[in-house]
């Protein structure tokens, strides 16, 4: 399956180290266009611009959490189908369930490896392609 490596990706995490790691790993996977936000609250207006094809977000952030950000995205008619991946230290079954109910496309528990990230991204975009096909697009 061919993934568009030129897509615009938004990386949301309150720790700059983690944003940097995620960006570097995405770069290794061949992606090249990233923006960063340090909180759900700063990410949301950026996402509303409609620029992003893929959102990678942390859960636990001071102002707006990743799960809230996901809910905002899913509640917006224009943005609701944007693929959303949570990368987080939150590892309770109930939280994973909550994220699934909110409509998350993938969930990675920190610490994680480059291989895990790669596998998740492939799976997410496979499903996106299937959805498009099913919709006749």
Partner 1 sequence: MKNIKPKQVKSLLKALEKENYDKASEMLDQIVAKRNESLIEGVEEIAQNLHDTLEGFGQDAQLLRDTKHGLPDATERLEYVMQTTEEASNKTLSAAENMIGLLESIESQTSDEKIAGYVRQAHAEMTEIMTAQSFQDLTGQVLNRVIMLVTSLEASLKDLIQRSGLSLDAIPAAHQSEAERKAEEEKGMGPNVTRESQKGTVGSQADVDAMLDDLGI
Question: Which residues would be at the binding site for partner 1 (CB under 8 A)?
Answer: 13, 15-18, 20-21, 24-25, 28, 60, 89, 110-114
Residue 36, C-beta contacts closer than 8 angstroms, at least 6 positions apart: 10, 11, 12, 19, 23
User: Which residue number, 20 or 131, has a Cβ lying nearer to partner 1?
Assistant: 20
User: Which residue number, 6 or 16, has a Cβ lying nearer to partner 1?
Assistant: 16
Q: Distance between CA atoms of 62 and 8, rounded to whole angstroms?
A: 25
Q: Distance between CA atoms of 68 and 74, rounded to whole angstroms?
A: 10
Query: Nearest distance from residue 48's CB to partner 1, in Å?
Result: 26
Query: Nearest distance from residue 133's CB to partner 1, in Å?
Result: 33
Query: Nearest distance from residue 90's CB to partner 1, in Å?
Result: 10
Q: Which residues does residue 87 pair with via DSSP β-bridges, in sequence order?
A: 108
């Amino acid at each position: 399956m061919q993934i568009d490596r030129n897509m615009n990706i938004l990386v949301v995490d309150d720790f700059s180290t983690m944003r940097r790691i995620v960006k570097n790993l995405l770069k290794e996977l061949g992606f090249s266009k990233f923006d960063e936000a340090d909180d759900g609250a700063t990410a949301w207006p950026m996402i509303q611009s409609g620029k992003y094809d893929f959102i990678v977000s942390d859960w636990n952030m001071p102002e707006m959490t990743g799960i809230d950000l996901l809910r905002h995205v899913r509640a917006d008619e224009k943005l609701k189908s944007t693929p959303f991946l949570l990368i987080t230290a939150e590892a309770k079954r109930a939280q994973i369930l909550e994220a699934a109910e909110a409509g998350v496309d993938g969930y990675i528990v920190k610490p994680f490896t480059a291989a895990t990230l790669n596998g998740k991204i492939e799976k997410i975009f496979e499903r996106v392609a299937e959805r498009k096909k099913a919709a006749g697009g």
